[in-house]
Amino acid sequence: MKPYTKSHSEGRATDLIIHYCPECNTCWEKARAWKWVGRTRRYINGYYFYKDFPTYGKKRVTCCKCEGKKLRQTLFLDMLLWEVVDDNKLQKTKGE
Ligand SMILES: [Zn+2]
């Protein structure tokens, strides 16, 4: 089962599970985005953060920022995406 939107252009998908980080008091969600670089689809693994998002019923999970992960901000389709900066090779995405 794949919740991701099929698209021939740039796009993004989230896992639809929003967590709440009690350390920075922010809701966040894992996200995957892709864009075309020449003929290759480049995948971006990152996170979206939602300020002023209702926290009721959200699972409390420390976010990647508070875990000290290396991130860089990317503006992607008008949303701020926090891209995970991987010092090793970027993870290959399965199944696409
Ligand atoms: Zn946090």
Residue 2 lies in a domain: no
pLDDT value of position 77: 83
Asked if the model's pLDDT at residue 10 lies above 70, the reply is yes
Residue 56 lies in a domain: yes
Asked if the model's pLDDT at residue 94 lies above 70, the reply is no
Mean pLDDT (whole number) for 77-88:
84
85: CA distance to ligand 1 center in Å?
17
Q: Domain limits at 62?
A: 11-84
Residue 57 lies in a domain: yes
Residue 58 lies in a domain: yes
Residue 91 lies in a domain: no
Residue 89 lies in a domain: no
User: What is the model's pTM?
Assistant: 0.72
Q: What is the pLDDT of residues 30-45, one digit of tens each?
A: 998 888 889 998 888 8
- Determine the Cα–Cα distance for residues 53 and 33; give it in Å rounded to an integer: 22
76: CA distance to ligand 1 center in Å?
21
Residue 3 lies in a domain: no
Assign residue 52 a region (left: φ > 0; alpha: ψ between -120 and 50; beta: otherwise). Answer: left
pLDDT value of position 68: 94
Higher pLDDT, 13 or 44: 44
Number of domains in the chain: 1
Residue 5 lies in a domain: no
